[in-house]
Amino acid sequence: MNRELLKFLVFSLLVLLAPLLFQGGYLMNVLVFVGINTMLAIALNLLLGYAGQISLGHAGFFGLGAYLSGILTATYGWNPWIAMPLAAVTVGLLAFLIGFPILKLKGHYLAMATLGLGIIIFIVFNETIELTGGPSGLSGIPNLSLGDFKFDSDIRNYYLVWSFTLGTVLLSLNLAASRVGRALRAVHDSEVAARVMGVNARLLKVQIFALSAVISALAGSLYAHTMTFLAPSSFGFNFSVELLTMVVIGGLGSIYGSFLGAALLTLLPEFLRAAHDYDIVIYGGLLMAMIMFMPGGLVRGIPDLLRRFAKRGRAGHA
Amino acid sequence: MQLDQLLQYVLSGLSTGAIYALIGIGFSIIYNATGIINFAQGEFVMLGGLLTLSCLNLLQLPPWAAVPCAVAAATVIGLLFERLAIRPLRKPTPISLVIITIGGSILIRGLAMLVWGKDTHSIPPFSGDEPIAVGGATILPQHLWILAITLVIVVINRFYFYHTISGKAMRACSYNRTAAGLVGIDVQRMVLFSFMISSAMGAIAGIIVAPLTMTAYDVGVMLGLKGFCAAIIGGMSSGLATVVGGLILGILESLGAGLISSGYKDAIAFIILLLILFIRPQGLFGKAESERV
């Protein structure tokens, strides 16, 4: 059997069985967030790890998806199953349009422009009080349901969110292995060389930006319907940085790395409840340490480290 | 629309604009010497205000001694930042530099939160808070301090970069690092200098604005970003263009807040930032540069 497929099946099996370990309980709820954050980290990684384009505004797309879904269902009484794809498509279109001017920028400038975009979106969430409820938030968002089956408990939400997450993983693995994935890596390494080889780098970057926004918006919708309450503070600059940290810690250009980063950064604060005020110190320190000592992220760094130890061990014996 | 009111907006816009200009010049000094946008620049602004607070309250220094003491402390932190975070990078790419300076900014902010807590603090104004009437509008003495200090700093900067050996060496680095190295300029030292100068300038900006706006561990983010906007409008020059950029930004923001909506005040800077980046990434006054591969 294909090795990649095997890996994916093992991963899916683990996801399927995980609730058996944490029968109910508070941790189940955290695992729902791990799923949502994994989707977001993968979305950002497609852009940053594969195409080499940074975004510090992804919390904005996440929030747009969440609020569109939330407003359509809570205020206007739409069916969530219609609101969700509509939100995703709308955010995707917006990203596509904005992608053309914004992705003309490179490096630091792109980082600043996406950051600005994210902050503008955040300010709009806060200020359009009649739509979003402003700083006090939007409540009364319905759970998703299939017929009479309502996704209203942690365990049900877990399977709901993770089916989307697994779908995202599968899609991204396929994308990375496809012609498009190779073109993306070419753009990452040298945009000029890629263009010479006939890759429409400009369009490709915008497309991946839009796809990344669609996945983020979808994650946002899922967040809205599992939480049933939204407040702007979840979608600020800090969350964009948190997403960036997940991607960098897990490993740029690695789908499973994104899961690892998302899981670590979502679970860590739960276990470090006592160190609550220290968490931003830890995030900052982690980000810097990873870039300095493990630029490949955990997925590449840990095997590297083990190999180095193994080598040293052998040299010691000789 | 009253003319007095308009004048009032312009006057207060000018003084916040001067702050943005100082922060913006800090950005462009590092950018020109190294090609790095230092996302932690705003954190030095925050440090300026809070360190002064500690010098005043904890060390019981008089204000004239507290300010240089705070600036010196911030400069040392800037030095450490360059030494411990920027220099050790083996293969710096734009993305790894963005990430490491963001990491640095979060770390500094987090440490500041641990040291000074989450409360907002105020610093007494330098010379009272009796408003001075200007035409139909009023201006606080602190506004005058801000404008005067900005002016002095810009003049010193100009002198340093054009009339001293190390300033000229730093300019040489900004034109061509390799060539500067070849003629015997210690490029690494210039990089270190650039971080020190810009953290000192950031700190000064933070100190002179703190009596007006209060200060807290998290004020650096917004101020840093606005400073960056000013630098972008000025085309990343470390001189007058950035000052003009900052003043334009300050006035537009103050007018926008007064005439449109104060809630969207912060959005105005970012809309201007995006427009400039899209239409004239070289800044309002810069010449277009052809893309090098």
| C-alpha distance from residue A67 to each of A57, A205, A221, A226 (Å) | 16, 26, 8, 13
Residue A316: per-residue pLDDT: 58
B105 touches A at CB < 8 Å: yes
Neighbouring CB atoms inside 10 A of B60's CB total: 8
Per the CB < 8 A criterion, the answer to whether B278 and A101 are in contact is: yes
Residue pLDDT, tens place only, B180-222: 889 989 988 999 999 999 999 999 999 999 998 889 998 998 8
Higher pLDDT, B136 or A105: A105
Read off the pTM.
0.89
Per the CB < 8 A criterion, the answer to whether B10 and B254 are in contact is: yes
Angle at B94 between CA B223 and CA B198, to 5 degrees: 40
Which positions ≥6 away from B84 have C-beta within 8 Å? Answer: none
* Helix (DSSP H) and strand (DSSP E) numbers for chain A: 14, 4
Average pLDDT for residues A231-259, to the nearest whole number? 91
Which positions ≥6 away from A68 have C-beta within 8 Å? Answer: A83, A86, A87, A90, A91, A217, A220, A221
Does the pLDDT at position A271 exceed 80?
Answer: no
Residue pLDDT, tens place only, B221-232: 889 989 998 998
Residue A52, token pair as written in the block:
């080499």
Do the chains contact at B278 and A111, CB–CB below 8 Å?
A: no
Do the chains contact at B110 and A126, CB–CB below 8 Å?
A: no
Does the pLDDT at position B290 exceed 50?
Answer: no
Pick among B95, B97, B228 to test the A interface (most A CBs inside 10 A) = B95
Do the chains contact at A292 and B261, CB–CB below 8 Å?
A: no
Q: What residues of chain A lie within 8 A of the CB of B266, using their CB?
A: 119, 123
Higher pLDDT, B75 or B286: B75
Average pLDDT for residues B237-264, to the nearest whole number? 88
Residue pLDDT, tens place only, A111-163: 889 999 999 999 999 999 999 988 999 999 999 988 888 888 888 899 999 99
* Helix (DSSP H) and strand (DSSP E) numbers for chain B: 11, 2
Q: What residues of chain B lie within 8 A of the CB of A284, using their CB?
A: 103-110
Q: What residues of chain A lie within 8 A of the CB of B107, using their CB?
A: 281, 284-285, 288
Residue pLDDT, tens place only, A33-72: 999 999 999 999 999 989 889 999 999 999 999 999 999 9
B109 touches A at CB < 8 Å: yes
Do the chains contact at B103 and A291, CB–CB below 8 Å?
A: yes
Q: Considering only the beta carbons, identify the residue of B99, B106, B271 that sits closest to A120.
A: B271
A122: DSSP letter: H
Tokens 């490179």, residue located: A106
